[in-house]
Amino acid sequence: MKKLLVILGVLLGIVLLAGIAIVLLVNVNAYKPRIETAVSDALGMEFRIRGNASLRLLPSPAIALADVRLTNRGTDLADAGTLRIGIRLLPLLHRRIEITEFTLDKPVLRIEKGADGKFNFETPPRPAKSPAGEEGPSPAAPLVVADSSLENGRILYVDRKSGKETLLDGVNLSVRNLSVPTGSKAEPSRGISFTGKLMIGEVKTKGFTVSDVRASVTAGNGVYEIRPFTMRLFGGKGEGEIRADLSKRAPTVSVKYKLADFRAEDAVAAFTRKKTLSGPMTLSPDLSFRGKEAGEMTRTLDGGLSLRGEGLTLYGMDIDEVLSKMKEARSMNLADVGAFLLTGPLGPAAIQGYRFGGVYESAVGGGETRITRLVSDWTVKNGIAEAKDVAFATRKNRIALKGKLDLVDERFVDVTVAALDEKGCAKVRQRISGPFRDPRFDKVSTLQSVAGSILSLFEKAKKFMGRPECEPFYTGSVPAPG
């Protein structure tokens, strides 16, 4: 036994010495041109190693490449401070590649969508090569990576047509058991499988910043699940889940989320520089859609959205003061104010190209309104959003909205905004119609007039005869002011 142990020790020493000799004597940099050519041919892009290459044998064989760059179609696509790849040696004897490690340190990825709609990472399709008389190449084994990671990365997305830019900074991604299909007939979106964790420090785009993004991601059989998914936006904390099924002809996506206690003033500032609303709010979308293009996604949009808020302040007018004076109430653009506040989670879609909440400022004399409670609940079916429970209350009044928003054709459908009495009947109402970008407002109609005393007699007669005084315009969850 002692002799056996001595022999094993000697053999282990020889292996270690051989490994050290390989590391010290083999000039890995001499193989950089071969590595560059092999990677460039495999990706159909230009791959360059501008730094040194080094070899590591322990704890597992790996090669590290410093300062690498990937270019395509004449533009820089990606670069990294270090690319490290580890490979198992024994499977190579059976012509199998098993990667134990794939690490990118401080990578920078630049994704551009040109004015022609093409992305800078797209490459021309390459025909499959097969010998004459054969049906084609046999299915290749998938590429398997035990552990892969991306550390301290940055991703920049640029749309050249719209001029929009989005920057993801502080990107850290760790992935286990990554399996990628290979071969000419492989479908990566359906064949990829892995489990991983994602962290992003900041996502910056024009108007607002998302921070502290964290997510757990799984993929398999074309289904990608991001759950849980958390982030901070507009001063609020959000949590939810996203599921994308890419196994079907038309990909299907479902989103369930809750952004709690975000600041209304920060959200409004993303669309307009003027301060019009402030206070804490909570947004809860539960939506699904399918398709590959924005139009198809909008046409198949289903689910619900909810926006809630309490203790809000509306700047620019005192609604209670205006409604207390009939002359000013008639000049007030009620639908304008209601649409600005009550479209809620659909506001960005409904106010594009038109500054809602601004028409009334020329008709009334400024001030501010304390909104005690706001509820904006909508149901969505085939891209049509219908008001389910949409109203807000001030210290003295309630204003509610009914109708639909056609998100496909971008139009208001039978939308009416009304100021209510204590029973939910409409005291003042106004209708809004037409396209989002150029809406039409009907004249304000009221249940009161100079002949108010005569109408009052009719109302008393209805009571005496036992008939209902009115048909309630609103019966939702926002109570009348006490």
> pLDDT for 265-315, tens place per residue?
888 777 666 777 899 999 999 999 999 888 899 999 999 999 999 999 988
- Return the pLDDT at 91: 66
Q: From CA 398, how far away is CA 429, in angstroms rounded?
A: 12
- Return the pLDDT at 442: 84
* Residue type, position 225, single letter: E
In the predicted structure, residue 11 carries a pLDDT above the cut 90: no
Q: What is the pTM of this model?
A: 0.77
In the predicted structure, residue 452 carries a pLDDT above the cut 50: no
Q: From CA 423, how far away is CA 471, in angstroms rounded?
A: 9
Model confidence pLDDT, tens digit, residues 71-125: 987 788 899 999 888 877 666 556 666 778 889 999 999 988 888 878 888 777 6
- C-alpha distance from residue 482 to each of 241, 326, 372, 393 (Å): 39, 22, 11, 10
Q: What residues contact residue 393 under an 8 Å CB cut-off, 6+ apart? A: 371, 372, 373, 374, 478, 479, 480, 481
CB-count exposure of residue 232 (10 Å: 0-12, 13-18, 19+): middle
Which of 423, 399, 422, 416 has its CA nearest to residue 323? 399
Q: From CA 353, how far away is CA 367, in angstroms rounded?
A: 25
Pairing of strands 62-72, 53-56: antiparallel
Q: From CA 474, how far away is CA 376, in angstroms rounded?
A: 13
- Return the pLDDT at 25: 41
Mean pLDDT of the residues in the chain: 79
- Return the pLDDT at 178: 87
In the predicted structure, residue 401 carries a pLDDT above the cut 80: yes
DSSP lists the bridge partners of residue 166 as: 157, 205
| pLDDT band at residue 188 using 50, 70 and 90 as cut-offs | low
Which of 428, 416, 424 has its CA nearest to residue 386? 416
- Tell me the average pLDDT across 453-474: 54
Identify the residue whose tokens are 């322990």: 58
